[in-house]
Amino acid sequence: MSHYFWIFFSAMLVNNFTLVMFLGLCSFIGVTAKVSVAFRLGIADTFVLLITSISASVLNKWVLVHAPYLRIIAFILVIASMVQITEMAVKKWSPTLFRELGIYLPLITTNCAILALAIFQTNRGYGFLEGVTFAFGAGAGLILALSLMASVRERLELADIPSVARGTALVLFVAGGLSLAFMGFSGLMTAQ
Amino acid sequence: MHDLDSLTAVPSGPSTAPPLEDFLKGLWKENPVFAQMLGMCPTMAITNSVMNAIAMGLATTFVLFGSGVFVSIFRKRIANEVRITTFILIIAAFVQIADMGLEATMPVSHKALGPFIALIVANCLLLARQESFAARNNVWRSALDALGMGIGFTLGLCVVGSVREILGQGSWLGIRVMPATFEPWVIMNLPPGGFFSFGFVLLGLAWWNERKSRRASLRIPVALPDTRPLFEQAV
């Protein structure tokens, strides 16, 4: 049980996909202007991560043993179809969210966090359950990072910032600060 | 941030600029790192040394070039409805070649870059170039564009990599450049250093651009020749 616990918290905090491993930065910087939207994008990401992890387990077990050179192609194909399904689901269940996420919903395909999950899972030799735990941890980490960033940015809207620093540069400095805070979690692994 | 215009509002026809411009625009005016801000993940993840930045830049250039030429050759045959999926598959095939080629020829670099070679597939720069350029232009122009963008990307990575390596390790490309008394800033090697150094580079660029536009808007007339008669000038 503690094995799964560590997989979850390692993916969520110690090796946070966005703040420590620089994965999925495009949406991290593009969609974090409002907390509600950022949070729901995190949920959509988690959903895709979960399905990708399951598909990657199946592919690893049945297909890629015979054809390891197809790895990247197979993963990206699965991810693209899963994102398409998610897009259709979101469009049906929540048209508002569909409009708010805009281009960033189909862009989950090129969100490196998703592909990285499949690759890490393969490299570390995770089984089905370990993979699902890993996906939940990574998803929780994405939700956390996106919501934290959006909360800070909502406050910054009211701050008096020199016009030069407004925009992406400021977002990167805030991200650097958050990343610095997350470095503190690396102590958790020594406790293990 | 994605420059969304480059992904959504793509030009409708082939490029009409002179061929040299197709190559040069990637170096500065539409530089993938500084102007379009595409592919930020590798920009920050693997720039802790200049060597990694060069290896990553060259691998990306190879994939850009290969997939650009390929997409451009088959651009009339790819059905519009499935074009994105087709582009991604072509890119993935070239990334797989780059991954296996690098593993065979440069195992050290391959190990240092880790999963980020495979993650070139998910670099938005590649899809953006296929969609906005290679799918609308002939092979020759697409190759030039891909080379320009690839070299521009490599240069961008090297700038961020230089800042991080000089401050974080006191060296540049493995050669010591800082005085012996210099205490390396460990933070530059750690993840926050990636955010901070790219932030500083962007801040410098924003300052430069603002200064340039302010100067252009002021337009102070400088040292006009004095046309008054000589006796008035003396006063």
State how far the Cα of B47 lies from the Cα of B33, in Å rounded to an integer: 12
CB contact under 8 A, A110 and B7: no
In the A/B pair of chains, how many CB contacts fall below 8 A? 130
| Nearest residue of chain A to residue B37 (CA atoms) | A26
Indicate the pTM of the whole model.
Answer: 0.84
B77 in a domain, yes or no?
yes
pLDDT of B220 > 70? The answer is no
Instruction: For residue B193, list chain A residues with Cβ-Cβ distance below 8 A.
Output: 176
> What is the total count of domains within chain B?
1
CB contact under 8 A, A25 and B41: yes
Residue A174 — pLDDT band, cuts 50, 70, 90?
very high
Position B8 scores a pLDDT of: 45
Tell me the average pLDDT across B35-56: 85
Q: Is the distance from CB of B142 to CB of B71 less than 8 angstroms?
A: yes
Instruction: For residue A103, list chain B residues with Cβ-Cβ distance below 8 A.
Output: 2, 4, 7-8
B91 in a domain, yes or no?
yes
Position B224 scores a pLDDT of: 55
User: What is the complex's ipTM, to 2 decimals?
Assistant: 0.85
Instruction: For residue A179, list chain B residues with Cβ-Cβ distance below 8 A.
Output: 191-192, 194-195
Instruction: For residue B191, list chain A residues with Cβ-Cβ distance below 8 A.
Output: 19-22, 179, 182-183
Q: Between the ranges A81-95, A133-147, B123-137, where is the mean pLDDT highest?
A: A133-147
Instruction: For residue B99, list chain A residues with Cβ-Cβ distance below 8 A.
Output: 72
Position B71 scores a pLDDT of: 94
Position B4 scores a pLDDT of: 45
Give percent of chain B with pLDDT exceeding 70.
88
CB contact under 8 A, A169 and B115: no
B231 in a domain, yes or no?
no
Residue B230 — pLDDT band, cuts 50, 70, 90?
low
Helix (H), strand (E), coil (C) string for chain A: CHHHHHHHHHHHHHCCCCCCCCCCHHHHHHCCCCHHHHHHHHHHHHHHHHHHHHHHHHHHHHCCCCCHHHHHHHHHHHHHHHHHHHHHHHHHHCHHHHHHHHHHCHHHHHCHHHHHHHHHHHHCCCCHHHHHHHHHHHHHHHHHHHHHHHHHHHHHCCCCCCCCCCCHHHHHHHHHHHHHHHHCCHHHHHHC
CB contact under 8 A, B119 and A112: yes
Q: Between the ranges A130-139, B42-51, B188-197, where is the mean pLDDT highest?
A: A130-139
A165 CA: distance to closest CA in chain B (Å): 6
Q: For testing the chain B interface, which of A41, A103, A112 should be mutated: the one with the most B CBs within 10 Å?
A: A112
pLDDT tens digits, residue range B10-23? 556 777 778 888 88
B227 CA: distance to closest CA in chain A (Å): 41
| Nearest residue of chain A to residue B121 (CA atoms) | A110
Domain that holds residue B46: 19-210
Angle in degrees, 0-180, between the axes of helices A128-156 and A2-9, rounded to the nearest 10: 30
Where are the domains positioned within chain A?
10-191
